[in-house]
Amino acid sequence: MEVAVISQSGQVVDTVNLNDAVFNVPMNHALVHQALVGYQLNKRHGTHDTKTRAQVSGGGRKPWIQKHTGRARQGSIRSPQWRHGGVVFGPHPRSYRKALPKRMRRTALRCVLSEKAREGLLVCLDSFDTVNGKTRSMVDLLNNLGINGSALLVTQGSQDGVVRAAHNIQKIWTLPVNLLNAQELLSRETLVITLDAVRWAEESLASDPHGRRGSSAVGSAQQPVLEVEQEVEQEAAGPEASSPEPAQEQPESDPASEAGSDEAGEEEQS
């Protein structure tokens, strides 16, 4: 996919070919929804709590006797049906965390990046050099780019000047590319990303690592597979091919003949 590179003055200065493995991936709505729900659940602290009748202070004695009062029998003024009583089946602290595999997170990010590129909501910027930390410099840059709604500014690394310049502008968020995720992209309309950040994203998201240890795990996993294949080939060839040839037995020497040969040698020398 080919995208124009825009300068900070709003002019097209160059074009760049984006990697189709990152910026031209088919949209998977079910996967993106699952990732979005996971990101939202992980933001919850889960500190909500209510008191049961055992936790509410007071209510230790029976309010009145069991019989002969004409009133309903009661055991405590902290029962759930009483005002200021305990809460039945109320929320208590718990974890809402949802684990999502790394490949699914990366695939969801590629899907959202591709959708932004296809809809024309991805702006490739050459750099943020004109942003000097002042809000006015960021406002001028957004006006030159024609951005009126919400936008996510993505840089290769954390740039303090860009963060301070966009801090007081509503609906404008900044983020380094290594922290980019599907939830941040879906929450904003336009994506403004630098050319260096685009190259970093292509290198890191183009392929998924194999296993927990990356490519090193693949090489270690192939070694036992090769050993098993060699054993299978030996069994298929038969026991003759797998068993080594027996060594030829040498005839045992006679001690008497050895002694005679030694005496003959001594006579020749004399």
Query: How many percent of the chain have pLDDT more than 70?
Result: 77
The per-residue pLDDT for 5 is: 93
Structure tokens at 154: 């993505």
- Nearest Cα to 184, choosing from 196, 194, 193, 174? 174
Query: How many percent of the chain have pLDDT more than 90?
Result: 71
Q: What is the pLDDT of residues 181-209, one digit of tens each?
A: 999 999 999 999 999 999 999 999 988 76
When the pLDDT of each residue in the chain is averaged and rounded to a whole number, the result is 85
Distance CA 77, CA 62 (A): 8
CB distance 34 to 104 below 8 Å: yes
Q: Report residue 217's pLDDT band, with 50, 70 and 90 as the boundaries.
A: very low
Q: State the greatest distance between any 2 C-alpha atoms of the chain, in Å, as a whole number.
A: 144
Choice among 33-47, 89-103, 128-142, 229-243 with the minimum mean pLDDT: 229-243
Distance CA 72, CA 74 (A): 6
Residue that wins the pLDDT comparison between 257 and 104: 104
Domains, the chain, with CATH or none: 2-45+100-205 (3.40.1370.10)
Residue with tokens 């050895």: 258
